[in-house]
Amino acid sequence: MNHPHKQHDRLVSQIAIELEADGYAVNRFPTREDVPFSLHGYIPDLIATKDNESLIIEIKSHESSEHVKYYRNIIETVEKHSGWKFLIKTVSSNPESETHINSSLVPISDIEEQLCKVERIFSVDSATMTVPFIWNIIVALLRHKANRDGIETSDFTDRSLINKSYSMGVISTSDYERLKSWKILRDSVVHSIPFTVDVSSVTPFLDYAKSLLRELQESDGVI
């Protein structure tokens, strides 16, 4: 029988080796002082740096939506600091299994900045070109919304994210139907040449993105 601490140390070493092979400088024994901001007493398994990117890494031997819930405060704290990311890396305890890495969520502040840019260029003449950007913003916000309901979304396609969010009650039936129609609109803009969309079709699309952002910010107490 494997001792759980030894098994965890083996997984940490495995991830460290993979990161070093990818060009990262890895701190295998980080302390609180190695992070230039407070993580409320939390000490990560690894800190990896490359160029201007620093990764704070927690390693688990199995995947669970509870992990995201438990580390939500850490995720939100790290998101506030440019150049830093928090990752939960899930590695099977079976050495024959492949490593699965969960991607981090796009910070809400970055999504808000992108939405402001889209609003600035939105007009009668440029409505069509904003559609793919608005879609990406909505998907990023939906990932946050689903994540806060305990749904792990890192491996979901846009379509599977929408379907899962609907089946789990994260979005309403009316939102589900609108998102399906907007997905068709987005695909048409991206893949059909020429393709033009009038402002009246895009305005509700943009308004929905703004309402999603506002909902998440209100739940965070930002507004």
Output the average pLDDT for the chain: 82
pLDDT value for 68: 59
- Percentage of the chain modeled with pLDDT above 90: 32
Q: Answer whether residue 49 shows pLDDT above 60.
A: yes
What are the extents of the domains in the chain? 4-101, 108-219
Vertex 37: Cα angle to 31 and 43 (nearest 5): 30
Do 4-101 and 108-219 share a fold? no
- Coil, strand or helix: which one is 16? helix
- Give 38's pLDDT tier (boundaries 50, 70, 90): very high
pLDDT of 212 > 50? The answer is yes
Each residue's pLDDT tens digit, 55-100: 999 887 655 445 556 778 888 888 889 999 888 776 655 444 333 3
- Over residues 102-129, the pLDDT tens digits come to 445 888 999 999 999 888 888 766 788 8
User: Going along 5-98, which residue ranges are E strands?
Assistant: 25-27, 46-50, 53-60, 84-91
**Any idea which fold 4-101 has?**
Trna Endonuclease; Chain: A, domain 1 (3.40.1350)
Where on the phi/psi map is residue 83: left (φ > 0), alpha (ψ -120 to 50), or beta?
left
- Whether domain 108-219 has CATH 1.20.120: the reply is yes
CA distances for 212 relative to 52, 73, 177, angstroms: 31, 21, 16
